[in-house]
Every structure is written in C-alpha cells, then in structure tokens.
Amino acid sequence: MAELLSKPKILIVDDQKSNIDFLSDILEDYDKRISLNGIKALEIARSANPPDLIIMDIMMPEMDGYEVCQRLKADKKTRNIPVIFVTAKKEVLDEKRGFELGAADYVTKPYHPDIIKHRINTHLELKKQYAELEYQERYIRSLFNYSLDPIISINANGGIVEFNQAAESTFGYRQQEISGKLITTLFAEPNELNFLDTIFSVKAEFKGEVYMTNKSGASFPASIKFAAVRNLDGNITGAVGSLTDLTAEKELFKLQQEERKVEAVKIAVETMKDVIRNSLHGLQLLRNEASSSVSKESLKAFDESVNNMLEHITKMEQLKSFSEIKIAGLKFFDIDGRYTKKTKQPETAKIDFAPNEIIPIIAYDSWDRMAVTPVVSKIAQFIASSNGEAFEHFKTLKELLCKTELTRELGDLENALDRFEFESAKRVLTTIAKRLNIQLDL
C-alpha cells in the first residue's frame, strides 16, 4: 500500500472504455484514476487528493476536453496540473487551440506506449521542479517579508521594486506608495557617495554608512549593503540590499564619551575640594590665632574670602549632580552658563559656617531659583520680627519646592510656624537656605 501511494497519480479521461483500458495497460507503473466524462474529471481534480497529471481525450460528449482544460486552468487549485491531450485530430489549428488553453502536450492516435510514457515522465518531472521553485520562492519571500532588517530591491533605473515590512516600519512608507520611486529619495543627500553609479558599475556592489531620511523628513545614520542582480546573460537588471539603523549605536558611543568626560570632571572636583578644604582648615587656624590682634574690618574681609571658598565647594557638589542628571538624558551639560549667569539677588549677610561642613545641594532643575529666593528672604524677615505672616508666605514656598528633596524640612518649618516657634523656624529655614545655596539674613 505504501508503494502504491508513492507512485505518481494519473487521471485518465475518455468516454471510450477501450481507450481507457489501453492506456491503463500502458501506465501500469502509475497510480491510475479513471473518468468517463469531463464533469467527473473536474470533480476528481478538485478533490482533496488531486492527480499529478491528466491525460485526456478531446472529443467527449457534454463537455469536451478543451472546456475541461479551460476550467482546470481557470481554477487556482488545479491550474498547475499538467494536461496531455490524446486525440485522432492532427490539424495544426486544433493543437494550437489546446496549447492556448493551457495544455502541456499532445499525443495523437495511434498511441505509441514508449512515447506516451516518456512524455508523461517529462511533464511529471517538470511539475516537480516547478513545485520546488514555488517552494523556494515562498521561502525566500517569507525571509524577505519577515526579516528584522529593512530589505529593498531596485530595478536597473534605481526605481524601488520591493520594500519589506521592516523597511515600511523604518521609513514610514507603504510598499504601494514608495514603489517606482528612486531609491535615492530615501537618502538625506540624494547623490551621496554616487550610490547608483557604484551599484551599476563594474564593481556591482555598495557598502558604506549614509544618512537616510524617512517619510516625515527625519534623518538617521545607517549602514547599507547592496549588490547587483544579473540575468542569465550576465547583464545587471537591478540590485537588492539591506540596511541597519545606526542611531542607537551612535547614541551609545556618544553616551560613553560623555560618561568619560563626567568621570574626569568628578576626579577634578574631588581633587579641588580636598585642596580647598585643607586651605580652609589652615585659614581657620590662622584666624583663631590672629582674632585678638586684627581689626574687625580685616576679620570681616577674611571671613568673606573663606565663605567664597566654601561656595566653590558647594558649586562643585552641584557640578557632579548635574553631570549625572544630564547623562541620563543622553545629553551633556553646560554648567558654566548656569553659574556665570548674573542675576540680581537680595542684599543679604552671610551665615556662620563650619569650614568642614558640606550641605547636600538641591539640583536646580527641580526648582526655580529666581522665584524661590525672594520668598525665602520674605519669610526670613517675618521670622526675624516674630510676625505670623511668615506662614502665609510659607504656603507659596511649599508649592515652589514640591518637587525637591526637602519634604521633611518643609514639614518641620510648617509645624514651627504653625506653633509660632520662631527660633525653631529660624533654624529650619537656615537649613533649607543652605541646601538651596541661598544666602540668608537671619
């Protein structure tokens, strides 16, 4: 049974039983099906187990062989089944009509067994090869359509022929709207690197990095590889290639460079902080020794110089903070503009400090310095005069600093003002001012 199923299936169609018997004897090595009319032949051909080849008489009642062949070729399910006509007709016009309807071959009566077998085997082999080609085409088409990389094919004029799904996603064009347009339409610079000249030259290939542009006009870096396609005569008929979007790779490289810059900044900051701290410690010792013999004006000038040095340390802390914040957004920072920009500040006296004390500074991108500074100064004035209106201004401050890390300090200040404990409020507001790097007069 297994041997029978492996044999090619031949459908013999003839209204004369004697002809069927004769062909059956000749085709004893095949799995044969029999039909005495065209209608039954169509039914067998459209079944779940169709024949591999049909050998059919032309002259039959009800439906002749020509009509059967025409219906077979019109049906997608049966159009690839080879049809061989057997007939007593020898006129050229009859053969021409059969071939026009899609017949694969003709065998004229009287039959010669070896010729019939040879022609049947030839068309079975051709059908097998055709099926293999169809499979390979479907396989290649599947790879083309579902590749994760954009793949594009072009004709000899540079017009786009095929545009896979990844290409549609990358460029924003559908196959129908981009088909026929020059591939250089997708280049940020249409004549970049003489792409078409290189493809259709002796070299017949192109590899390189270019900037492409999508439907919305946005450009992006890409690595592309294209190779020419030749026909059987060796002539170039087009090209096919793929591309890789390099945007993520370029951004990663940029990020790595920026991280190295930030690391260098951190090292420099730590070195400078150590130098300034040591200097502050020495200066504080000198101040203590000289305080009894130096005028108040000199001591005041000395204190202002030391206080400026401390401010540089706090700015260094902010510099590190900003560098880390901006790196997360893939953008380097311009810290100089933030520090060198001159803004009008309230005239205030500097607070007392301990030289080795460094207060964590709140990053500027979570609050508005220009808005917060006058509110803090106003609250300080009301606290200094034990005025309950400080609480009303505190509400504004709380809103301005809602996105900072001062939740605990703001809660302590609110409680102190609510209980009119102005000394406690003064200490908390001083801490807040230090963390915001605001000079406070209290």
Over the chain (442 residues), the average pLDDT of each successive run of 10 is 67 92 90 94 94 93 92 93 84 79 87 88 91 86 85 91 92 92 85 72 82 91 90 88 89 82 72 66 62 64 66 61 43 34 34 42 68 88 86 88 86 87 89 84 66
- Across the strands, what pairs with 242? 151, 225
Q: How far apart are CA 180 and CA 159, in angstroms?
A: 5
Q: What is the pLDDT of residue 335?
A: 35
Q: What is the pLDDT of residue 284?
A: 62
Q: How far apart are CA 166 and CA 297, in angstroms?
A: 75
Q: How far apart are CA 38 and CA 67, in angstroms?
A: 8
* Phi, psi for 207 (deg, rounded to 5): -135, 135
Residue given tokens 């294209």 in the structure block: 226
Helix (H, G, I), strand (E, B) or coil at 414: helix
Q: What is the pLDDT of residues 152-207, one digit of tens each?
A: 999 988 899 999 999 999 999 999 999 999 998 898 876 655 778 887 877 788 88
Answer whether 12's CB lies under 8 Å from 37's CB: no
H or E element: which one contains 86? Answer: strand 83-87
The set of residues, in sequence order, having a beta carbon less than 8 Å from that of 7 and lying 6+ positions away, is 29, 30, 31
- Across the strands, what pairs with 229? 238
Q: What is the pLDDT of residue 314?
A: 65
CATH architecture, domain defined by 147-245? 2-Layer Sandwich (3.30)
Closest listed residue to residue 89, CA positions, set 64, 123, 124, 122: 64
Q: What is the pLDDT of residue 96?
A: 85
> Helix H segments across 291-389?
296-328, 335-340, 369-384
Sheet holding 105-108, edge to edge: 31-35, 9-13, 53-57, 83-87, 105-108
Domain boundaries, the chain: 2-143, 147-245, 247-342, 343-442
Q: What is the pLDDT of residue 90?
A: 66
Q: How far apart are CA 124 and CA 30, in angstroms?
A: 11
Residue 13, Cβ neighbours under 10 Å: how many? 30
Q: What is the pTM of this model?
A: 0.46
Q: What is the pLDDT of residue 74?
A: 94
The alpha carbon torsion through 138, 143, 144, 150 (nearest 10 deg) reads: 170
Q: What is the DSSP string of 250-295?
A: HHHHHHHHHHHHHHHHHHHHHHHHHHHHHHHHHHHHHHHHHTTTS-
Q: Would you say the C-alpha torsion 235, 237, 242, 243 has a positive or negative sign?
A: positive
Q: What is the CA radius of gyration of the chain?
A: 45
Helix (H, G, I), strand (E, B) or coil at 8: coil
Sheet holding 160-163, edge to edge: 160-163, 151-155, 236-245, 219-230, 205-213
Q: What is the pLDDT of residue 338?
A: 35
- In Å, what is the CA distance from 237 to each residue of 141, 158, 159, 234? 19, 10, 11, 9
Answer whether 54's CB lies under 8 Å from 45's CB: yes
* Phi, psi for 199 (deg, rounded to 5): -60, -45
Q: What is the pLDDT of residue 139?
A: 85
Q: What is the pLDDT of residue 254?
A: 82
Measured at the CA of 142, the angle between CA 140 and CA 145, to 5 degrees, comes to 110
Beta-strand (E) ranges in 182-262? 205-213, 219-230, 236-245
CATH classification of 2-143 is 3.40.50.2300, yes or no? yes
